[in-house]
A and B are shown apart, each in its own frame.
Chain A
Amino acid sequence: MTEVALPRRQPFALRFPSVMVFLAILALFTVGVTILSEGFGIGVISTSFVKTLGKTLCLCLVALAMDLVWGYCGILSLGHMAFFGLGGYAIGMWLMYARTEIIVLESLAAAPLPPTPQEVSDGIATQIFGVVGASEFPPIWAFAHSLPLQLAAVVIVPGLLALVFGWLAFRSRVTGVYLSILTQAMTLALSLHLFQNDSGLRGNNGLSGLQNLPGLSEVPQSIVSMWFFWGSALALALGYILCAWVVSGKFGSVIRAIRDDEARVRFLGYPVETFKLVIFTLTAVIAGIAGALYYPQAGIINPAEIAPIASIYLAVWVAIGGRGRLYGAVIGAAFVSLLSTWFTGGQAPDINLGFYTISWVDWWTVLLGLSFVGVTLFAPKGIGGLVDILIDQKSPNRHGADLGPDQGALREQEADK
């Protein structure tokens, strides 16, 4: 018998050089931005752009989650931005509560009698909910005073929703486009619910002022933005390592097998539904964490953020970046969202055709749609596919090659794969 060595004796880093390359690039990028920032460096990059970059890192993280659930496990979820938004709401509740509490305490300090806890609570509630005509805390704000509890909610709320939703959907063997529609319905229902004033989360006003950290009002935004930038970079790095680990071993093998032929995996004895549920829930948690880092940088969250279109954008990023490879998702999210910021920010020069002026603020979505169709049709590997060409990992050209003893193997039209 020929001796075959264990193929995985090498350390993790050597087996997956792309992880190391990614982490190195991310570290360089983080150091670079720090040096160029206003808060800690020479001030070439404005604070608002640091925030844009930090937010982009969070979008990369949620794109990773999307790639894991769609690119690897084949579940085209069009609802992952709902989990992202829930993470944002969870942290936003504490930020808003704690900051309002400080303001209320300050204003009540001048009163002749020290305020009772009830007065403080009422004061905060009036401040926060006056805008929707309420002055009492809804039950879901019960833990808003506690940072640890709201941080736990960042993980638990999206995770629990994904667990229940996934359990119901996967157990009934809902797959393919039907599952996509179901996830879409979930995010739509959630956003419509939150749009209501009596949803307890300030309706379409959403939560605002999230960029101000309670008790740290004297720290300038140029510093705070860098904290969040570092936090986002760290979360992306850890998320990347986690995803790479999950897809590396037998688990990755099984979920890719589920993507390619679910029924066959079942006959191998794997509980397919449980695997899908694990991936769906895990990615929802990652999305929640990404959202909790994103919205303090954005400063505001409202129900429009979890409208179905957001989740569709997420799928577009991953498709353009190249699904089924982790760095593809990151490249796609970073590239498309930064480009989108550039086009919609009015910085892209309009094109005057004489009879019509192409204004990119309006035409950007058309361009994005066309490039999505283009990538799907002509470059299914996405931008990440360029890396293959770069390191010359192209699959061997099999055009016209012998297709095996009975000509039954890969067909001619499959030769490119």
Chain B
Amino acid sequence: MSTLLEVSGVSVSFDGFKAINNLSFQIADAELRAVIGPNGAGKTTFMDIITGKTKPDEGRVIYGDKGESLLKMSESKIAQAGVGRKFQRPTVFEDQSVFDNLMMALKKTRGPLAVLFFKPSQEDVDKVTDLAEQIGLSGALHRKSGELSHGQKQWLEIGMLLAQDPRLLLVDEPAAGMTPTEREHTTDILREAAKTRAVVVVEHDMEFVRRLNCKVTVLHEGSVLAEGSLDHVTKNEQVIEVYLGR
């Protein structure tokens, strides 16, 4: 397995507060990784840096086979290069139907002209329908996504991410506000996705992380505190001190 993303020595501070401090992180081509850490550990900032929303003060972010630096690319270029992101709060386009949301996310040329003259083929429609089935929204395909429940919106957003067909999937608290059955379904979707791509899940919920059954990275005060299996990191003295033993 080759490395897909390599973050090394990255630091960023906001008004003197070091949100990320000399952080290094690696993830392979097809890997599921959970990132945990107490509030303010820098989990969201970490995602912001990879997706281009925040520019770090120093450090390198190398991505892909050609080893491109993500730091010089715009958000949309990074997304086109295959980095997909799901936000903490579900952000779907509430005014538009589930179908339109998925169709917009579907991996296609993103330029204005291509979009203007775009006509979905039967293949595209099939893809969208498949995705809707996968995320349990087949019946709601033509409903406005604003009418969906919170959990359904979370799934729709995951569906939109899958439609983008990213090579690296960054998922911020996917299980927030979901019922236990919905959580189970979400775990399945993420594990399935991780077979063909890299998936980074930021999560607070230990039960959820346990069910993901993957390597865990613990962040604390902007840098990596421990890395390994969940059982391994939960035995780590420092981790217990800052996070688990509160």
Contacts and interface: CB of A to CB of B under 8 A. Distances in A.
B119 interface: yes
Contact of A1 (B53, B77, B87, B133): B133
B96 interface: yes
Contacts of A408: 149-151, 177
Interface in A1-56: 1-8
B118 A267 contact: no
Given A4-B125, A250-B103, A257-B104, A404 B151 contact: yes
Interface in A238-274: 246, 249-251, 253-254, 256-257, 260-261, 263-264, 266-272, 274
Interface string B135-149: 000100110001111
Interface string A265-290: 01111111011001000000000000
A274 B112 contact: yes
A404 B55 CA distance: 38
A9 B111 CA distance: 24
A351 interface: no
Contacts of B149: 403-406, 408-409
Nearest to A279: B112
Contacts, number: 127
Nearest to B138: A2
A284 B100 CA distance: 28
Interface string B57-99: 0000000000000000011110110001101000101111001
B79 A409 contact: no
Nearest to B178: A406
Interface residues of B, number: 53
B218 interface: no
B114 to A, nearest CB: 9
B148 A409 contact: yes
B116 A269 contact: no
Contacts of A270: 76, 110, 115
Interface of chain B, helix or strand or loop or mixed?
A: helix
A249 B118 contact: yes
Contacts of A278: 112
B150 A251 contact: no
B2 interface: no
Contacts of B96: 253, 256-257
Interface string B213-239: 000000000000000000000000000
Nearest to B179: A405
Given A269-B110, A272-B76, A409 B147 contact: yes
B153 interface: yes
A410 B178 contact: no
Interface in A400-417: 403-406, 408-410, 414, 417
B8 interface: no
B120 interface: yes
Given A268-B164, A275-B112, A406 B151 contact: yes
B178 A257 contact: no
Interface of B: 51, 53, 74-77, 79-80, 84-85, 87, 91, 93-96, 99-100, 103-105, 110-112, 115-116, 118-120, 122, 125-126, 128-130, 133, 138, 141-142, 146-153, 160, 164, 177-179, 182
Given A260-B93, A264-B91, A406-B178, 11 more contacts: A1-B129, A1-B133, A3-B129, A4-B128, A6-B125, A268-B104, A271-B74, A271-B110, A404-B150, A408-B149, A414-B146
